[in-house]
């Protein structure tokens, strides 16, 4: 394998026509002159051709304003940062019209996978003119991005092997005589529209479902699948993050929708298409989630969203991926008739009788950074927030009877509403060597609230992984600090002969729990007892001796 323009002797000698030989010589001279600038330039009216099954590599940027013959079986590995096609450039296969053979493969890749690669495709979707690539493979983890003022066309196959394609508001056109073939799309690799569109040309009734693997951002894969039931048509699809009552104005329907609007434009008027739309489960608004059995794909008609007669829960997992089914996504399907040239869709619920779940607390922990450290770190994650005002931090010291409020953290979600996990972190200065209890009071905008589980932080210099107090036990309640790595599902109270006095189960979540409380049975004789800490597999993790005082 050699870098272009250092084309090997076999490739050079395989080009039979004198015009290609002359063009190659010019190409070599111009490329060598630009090598110090890390760019290869194929100037206008220059033609080069590759021999079938040949592979060459380009390590710098590429400017193509000429004519490249890329026959079936050839491979060009592009390692540069930018490939630019001029509007009059040509990249063709060996067929008569230049588009009917399989054609060669252009692989966009990086040796270090550290930065985006950029393409100025030179094609105009509006004019349907300009150069195209026969086949293109994305093998660069950061992905490839379209430059401004230029669309990209791929005639046969786009392989999303590693990385996204970022349209940045421009367009990717697939296919010439057919819709083309898009491979290896998944939640990890897809086309990020950014206001642009994915076109698939000449979709016929024989193509069945044609997938448009698009999303609004790298972490949001929301593909569409269109099955054309009428005359062959070219279709373009884009997606954006929002659903408005009047399409572009009015209230945002984020509570009752999946917060996505898909636009589908069809070249044939009055089309009939069976459409499937995929959304992420975290995108479901709280009201949508509570009433998802009444969901349906909605079409915007004239001044509002229609209501379908048939409703059902979205289907999950999503099958619209070339990898394993996506368990974090769901889809709906509906047959649409008499479509306009431009059409807009989303997923809504027809009924809102069920109240949505409130804010959920997915995780809460409190810990001292290290033995001898003065700072206590509190961090928590909400699974979702529904009109959440914020969080009151409450604290009490061992031996105290009441919690005191020490601060308030406002919800970071706009309007107190979020559809996905949101994290928080604060620090409390606590230099004393006493055990400290923390809890959160999670407050809603309507005044309702709930408490988090209690978390216990040991004193500044305490290193014991298990501490029980008071010990000797006075009264009928014992407090347990448990800082070991193994999770506890039960604690048993055992007497000296080994008889189990009582056993208390502790439900999930076990992963972050470090404080336990046990009530001593009334009438239990004073003396020596033992606490057994039982793990998830019913094994005894630890045994701690306690003394019950008179």
Looking at residue 26, what is its pLDDT?
A: 41
| Domain final position from 428, 457, 486 | 457
Residue tagged 């540069």 (tokens): 80
Domain boundary among 333, 354, 375: 354
The 10s digit of each residue's pLDDT in 280-337 is: 998 999 899 999 999 999 999 999 999 999 999 999 999 999 989 999 999 999 999 9
Are residues 491 and 400 part of one domain?
Answer: no
- The domain that holds 436 is classified in CATH as 2.60.40.10
264 and 297 housed in the same domain: yes
pTM: 0.72
- Whether 418 and 475 map to the same domain: the answer is no
H or E element that contains 30: helix 18-34
Specify the range with the lowest mean pLDDT, choosing from 28-37, 109-118, 243-252, 532-541: 28-37
Cα separation of 9 and 14, whole Å? 8
Mean pLDDT of the chain: 88
Query: When comparing pLDDT for 35 and 59, which is higher?
Result: 59
Q: Supply 505's token pair.
A: 């189960």
Average pLDDT of the residues in 39-61 = 90
| Most confident by average pLDDT, 421-430, 481-490, 511-520, 531-540 | 421-430
| Per-residue pLDDT reduced to its tens digit, 226-281 | 999 999 999 999 999 999 999 999 999 989 999 999 999 999 999 999 999 999 99
429, 328: one domain: no
Residue 313 tokens, joined: 């829960």
pLDDT of 31: 46
pLDDT of residue 413 exceeding 70: yes
Judged against a pLDDT cut of 60, whether residue 64 lies above it is answered with yes
When pLDDT is cut at 50, 70 and 90, the band that residue 113 belongs to is: low
Q: Let me know if residue 259 belongs to a domain.
A: yes
Same domain, 476 and 415: no
Question: Residue 83's beta-bridge partner residues?
Answer: 62, 119
CATH classification of the domain holding 534: 2.60.40.1930
Range of the domain at 69: 38-184
Q: State how far the Cα of 246 lies from the Cα of 303, in Å rounded to an integer.
A: 6
Q: Mind listing the pLDDT tens digit for each residue in 13-28?
A: 333 343 444 344 444 4
Do 244 and 164 sit in the same domain of this protein?
A: no
Residues comprising the chain, all counted: 550
Residue 97 sits in the same domain as residue 147: yes
**Structure confidence at residue 38 as a pLDDT band (50, 70, 90):** low
Token look-up 């493979």 returns 137
Residues 348, 371 within the same domain = no
Kindly state whether residues 345 and 263 are assigned to the same domain: yes
Number of domains in the chain: 4
141 plus 43 within the same structural domain: yes
Tell me the per-residue pLDDT of 148-191, one tens digit each, with 9 for 90 and over. 999 999 999 999 999 999 999 999 999 999 999 999 999 999 99
Q: Sign of the C-alpha dihedral, residues 335, 337, 339, 343?
A: negative
In DSSP terms, 174 is beta-bridged to 154, 200
Q: How confident is the model at residue 464 (pLDDT cuts 50, 70, 90)?
A: low
272 with 390, same domain: the answer is no
Are 335 and 371 contacting, i.e. CB atoms less than 8 angstroms apart? no
Same domain? For 165 and 69 the reply is yes
């Amino acid at each position: 394998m050699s870098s272009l323009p250092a084309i090997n002797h076999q490739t050079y000698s395989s080009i039979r026509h004198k015009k290609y030989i002359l063009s190659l010589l010019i190409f070599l001279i111009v490329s060598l002159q630009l090598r110090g600038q890390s760019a290869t330039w194929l100037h206008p009216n220059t033609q080069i051709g590759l021999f079938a099954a040949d592979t060459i590599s380009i390590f710098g940027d590429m400017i193509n304003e000429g004519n490249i013959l890329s026959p079936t079986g050839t491979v060009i590995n592009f390692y540069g940062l930018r490939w630019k096609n001029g509007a009059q450039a040509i990249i063709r296969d060996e067929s008569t019209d230049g588009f009917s053979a399989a054609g060669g493969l252009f692989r966009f890749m990086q040796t270090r996978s550290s930065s985006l690669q950029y393409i100025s495709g030179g094609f105009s979707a509006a004019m349907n003119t300009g150069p195209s690539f026969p086949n293109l493979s994305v093998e660069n983890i950061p992905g490839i991005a379209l430059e401004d003022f230029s669309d990209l066309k791929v005639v046969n196959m786009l392989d999303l092997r590693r990385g996204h394609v970022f349209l940045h508001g421009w367009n990717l056109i697939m296919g010439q005589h057919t819709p083309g073939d898009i491979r290896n799309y998944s939640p990890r690799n897809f086309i990020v529209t950014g206001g642009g569109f994915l076109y698939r040309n000449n979709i016929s009734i024989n193509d069945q479902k044609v997938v448009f693997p698009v999303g609004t951002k790298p972490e949001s894969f929301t593909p569409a699948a269109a099955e054309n039931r009428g005359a062959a048509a070219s279709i373009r699809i884009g997606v954006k993050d929002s659903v408005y009552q009047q399409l572009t104005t009015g209230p945002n329907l984020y509570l009752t929708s999946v917060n996505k609007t898909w636009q589908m434009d069809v070249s044939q008027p009055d089309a009939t298409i069976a459409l499937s739309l995929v959304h992420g489960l975290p995108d479901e608004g709280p009201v949508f989630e509570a009433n998802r059995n009444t969901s349906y794909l909605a079409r915007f008609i004239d001044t509002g969203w229609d209501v379908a007669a048939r409703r059902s829960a979205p289907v999950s997992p999503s099958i619209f991926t070339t990898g394993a089914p996506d368990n974090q996504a769901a889809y709906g399907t509906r047959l649409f008739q008499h479509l306009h040239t431009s059409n807009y869709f989303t997923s809504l619920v027809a009924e809102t009788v069920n109240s949505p779940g409130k804010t959920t607390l997915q995780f809460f922990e409190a810990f001292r950074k290290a033995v001898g450290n003065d700072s206590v770190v509190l961090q928590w994650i909400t699974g979702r927030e529904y009109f959440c005002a914020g969080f009151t931090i409450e604290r009490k010291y061992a031996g105290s009877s009441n919690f005191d409020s020490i601060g308030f953290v406002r919800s970071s979600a706009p309007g107190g509403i979020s559809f996905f996990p949101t994290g928080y972190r604060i620090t409390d200065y606590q230099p004393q060597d006493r055990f400290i209890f923390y809890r959160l009071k999670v407050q809603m905008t309507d005044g309702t609230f709930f408490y988090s589980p209690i978390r216990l932080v040991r004193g500044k210099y305490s290193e014991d992984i298990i501490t029980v107090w008071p010990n000797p036990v006075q009264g009928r309640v014992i407090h347990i600090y448990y800082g070991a790595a193994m999770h506890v599902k039960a604690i048993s109270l055992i007497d000296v002969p080994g008889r189990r006095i009582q056993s208390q189960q502790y439900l999930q979540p076990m992963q972050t729990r470090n404080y336990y409380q046990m009530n001593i049975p009334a009438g239990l004789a004073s003396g020596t007892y033992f606490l057994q800490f039982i793990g998830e597999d019913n094994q005894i993790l630890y045994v701690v001796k306690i003394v019950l005082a008179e």
